[in-house]
Structure 1
Amino acid sequence: MRSCDSIISEGAAKPQPYAITPLEEAQFRRDGYLLLRSAVPMADAAFFLGEVDRLVREANNIGAVLREPYYHEGSYKLTRILRLSTAFDQLVDHPGYFGKLVCLIGSHIQLMGSEIFVRGAAQGTITGFHTDLGAGLQKILPTDQNAFLQIKAQIFLTDLSVPDCSNFALIPGSHRMRVADSNELCMINDVNRQIGPDGSLPAQAMQVLARPGDVLLFPHSLWHAVAPNRSGRTRYSITLRYGQMALRPFERFDPILADHGRKLTPRQRRLLGDLGEEGASPYRPRFQDEIMCRDEQHSSGCY
């Protein structure tokens, strides 16, 4: 397993090693993704699915869903989900994946955004292949040694163990490939032209076969899409976006931090933007290594 020593600053307390293996890190750097089987226990995944179903029904009743221009008409998302339910607080630094994130990004990490994805029936692809974080970051690619700028954790809540159930689709190794033909939505035009009218994907693409509780980690530069959904059921998932503290977050978590009835740990508060003192710098936050790496009662990034 990789030691925390390599990401902890000189003189800081040395926590226990993270639960990431050399093979896992090598695969992530080579292929641009890591699928963590049963990272969230099945019973917990069922609980989250119930909460997601409730929130989706409420949002549809009041028209509070977001339909992006690059989604199939049967798909949409809910944003700022920590404002909608305290049930998701435990996912902010969930022990099933958080330690691996810190190994790949480093300890100067923040939660940048939170979403629920709803993927309905679609005979063709639900989204085409694209990268995240906009046109500027599309030009910045990872290297063999550098920490990653941003990693998403997608928590699957429905069964995607066979293809064409609105599976997450990706092109292995594309996170290190320069995009030559794109648009304002960061679509990979030359690859998307290879998608068949029936939603068949290019030969170099793969669909991720996942079960409830599996978690997929992937960086901003990975070329990814959503496959057709011919399963007869809606696909639900939760995505949490993590990144370097120097990046602009997608949402503000002030309402969550100001909720005194919320039982957040110091690490969860720091991930949501609580720097601990007035005027503290996001580039030099105090005790950052210790907060990110120490054991806590409800969540632990180090093992």
Structure 2
Amino acid sequence: MDRPHDLAGATEAFHRDGFVILPSALPPAAAEHLRVLVEQHFQDPQVHAADPERDLVRGDVSLMRMFEHDQAFRDVITAEPLATLVESILGPDCHVISQNALRIPPGGGIANWHIDDTLFFPFLDGAGAPRENIPCFALNMMVALSGIEHEQYGPTQVVPRSHLSGRRPPYSPDLPGEPRSLLARAGDVYLVNSQTWHRGAPNRSGRTRYVLTTAYGRRFISQRFYPFIGYRLPEGVLEGASNRLARFLGQHGKGPYG
């Protein structure tokens, strides 16, 4: 890590802008190790030959539930200072709702502007609507596993403060702000509110872009592990897991509804 991170300041910036960047949150060697594991997983013929109901890969771009594949991905869930920052935003009983790896080849990109879920606060789209202290219900933590230092490599782009617009994309001339490219080195991490307008810019370079995305939600936000009600953690995923990690993966105690 280049320097200690100001987590209080990062939390404030996240709520204000709808995203925050933590430079060098993972060591470059750790990011490179994860990148190699992603590529090995993608090149495994059994991944692509698996029954579609196993939901291992989507569209030759997204590799699903990486914590099932290797403990190195599982360990990212509780890596510091990231886990503490996530809990400061979502609360101490939050959990992981998805963890996927994106492998964007030259010419590819998730280029449509979008939010990651339903529109939570449509009442903000109106004159005089309050815009302070709006809670975050879900966020995506994106770890750059390869260098995305220039526009040609297809960085994630966000519209600052669009999470407070009460609107969803598509992109239009009356955007609530100017788009910003989140340029990053391997090991840099950025957190994006699920309501923030964002996209992956087209990869116009000759190299593949790698990103590990772990989405977290408040306790009442359901986990998105297909086939949902029928999903079971594979044996071994919780082996040696701390209580905190087990909770992030969904092992909650009794609560208000059961």
Shorter-chain TM-score range: 0.7 to 0.9
Normalising to structure 2: TM-score of the pair? 0.82
Query: Which of 35, 40, 57 is matched with 1:65 structurally?
Result: 57
| Deviates most, 230-239 or 51-60 | 51-60
Deviation at 1:247, TM superposition (A): 1.0
> Are residues 1:144 and 2:132 paired?
yes
> Are residues 1:103 and 2:88 paired?
yes
1:24 equivalent in structure 2: 10
Find the residue that maps to 2:57 and give its secondary structure.
coil
1:71-113 alpha-carbon deviations (Å, 9 max, x no partner) = xxxx620112222222212111111311111111111201111
The answer on whether the counterparts of 1:155 and 1:213 sit within 8 Å (CA) in structure 2 is yes
* Structure 1 segment 162-181 matched on structure 2, within 5 A: 162-179=150-167
1:116-143 alpha-carbon deviations (Å, 9 max, x no partner) = 11111228x6321111113x53637795
1:147-187 alpha-carbon deviations (Å, 9 max, x no partner) = 420111101101001112110011111111122xx6xxxxx
- Aligned-partner Cα distance in 1 for 2:21–2:218: 22
Deviation at 1:26, TM superposition (A): 2.6
Deviation at 1:211, TM superposition (A): 0.5
Equivalences, count? 238
- Alpha-carbon spacing, 1:269–1:56, altered in 2? closer, same or farther (3 Å): same
Query: Which of 184, 202, 216 is matched with 1:228 structurally?
Result: 202
- Alpha-carbon spacing, 1:261–1:239, altered in 2? closer, same or farther (3 Å): closer
Query: Which of 111, 128, 133 is matched with 1:127 structurally?
Result: 111
Deviation at 1:231, TM superposition (A): 1.5
The answer on whether the counterparts of 2:148 and 2:185 sit within 8 Å (CA) in structure 1 is yes
The answer on whether the counterparts of 1:108 and 1:244 sit within 8 Å (CA) in structure 2 is yes
Which of the pair has more CA radius of gyration? 1
> Are residues 1:118 and 2:103 paired?
yes
CA RMSD of the aligned region, Å?
2.8
* Structure 1 segment 35-114 matched on structure 2, within 5 A: 35-58=21-44, 61-62=48-49, 64-67=56-59, 76-114=61-99
- Aligned-partner Cα distance in 2 for 1:232–1:104: 37
- In the alignment, structure 1 segments of 5+ residues that lack a partner are 1-18, 68-74, 183-187, 195-201, 286-303
The answer on whether the counterparts of 1:114 and 1:240 sit within 8 Å (CA) in structure 2 is yes
Find the residue that maps to 1:53 and give its secondary structure.
helix
- Aligned-partner Cα distance in 2 for 1:107–1:150: 13
- Aligned-partner Cα distance in 2 for 1:190–1:47: 36
2:232 equivalent in structure 1: 254
2:127 equivalent in structure 1: none
